[in-house]
Amino acid sequence: MSSPRLREGCSLRPKIESPIEPKFIEEEPSTMAATHNEALPNSVGFIGLGAMGLPMATNLANALPQGSKVYVHDTVGTPVDEFCTRFPDMAVKCASAKEVASNSVCCHQR
């Protein structure tokens, strides 16, 4: 099997007309959070607790500081119930994705 031929002047790489200049935030070390836990929000939302979502939400819950809330929703109730059983003080079961988004500072959809 032969490889496809490109017309003259064609490239497999996309041509970028206007590159985006990266912007860096310059902060004094004293204003940055001392630990990563201090920089995390108090309430986060997670939509979709399937084969990938449940382990991701579990890692997130383990990384959050005490007193945080994780608002969760999935179309299948079993993984949501499992997550709420693992984290009874942290997990909040929501009836819809809209409820997750309205209650959380940061939301992840898987």
Condensed to tens digits (0 to 9), the pLDDT of residues 51-90 reads 899 999 999 899 888 889 999 999 988 999 999 999 999 9
**Distance separating alpha carbons of residues 85 and 43, to the nearest angstrom:** 18
Architecture in CATH of 40-109: 3-Layer(aba) Sandwich (3.40)
Q: Give the start-to-end residue ranges of the domains of the chain.
A: 40-109
Higher pLDDT, 4 or 45: 45
- 7-48 pLDDT, tens digit each: 565 555 555 555 555 555 455 444 444 444 444 568 888 999
Q: What is the pLDDT of residues 84-108, one digit of tens each?
A: 999 999 999 999 999 998 888 765 5
Residue showing tokens 């939509």: 47
* Three-state secondary structure readout of 50-86: CCCHHHHHHHHHHHCCCCCEEEEECCCHHHHHHHHHH
Q: Is the pLDDT of residue 110 over 80?
A: no
Q: Which DSSP string corresponds to 7-36?
A: PTT--SSPPPSSPPPP------GGGS-SSH
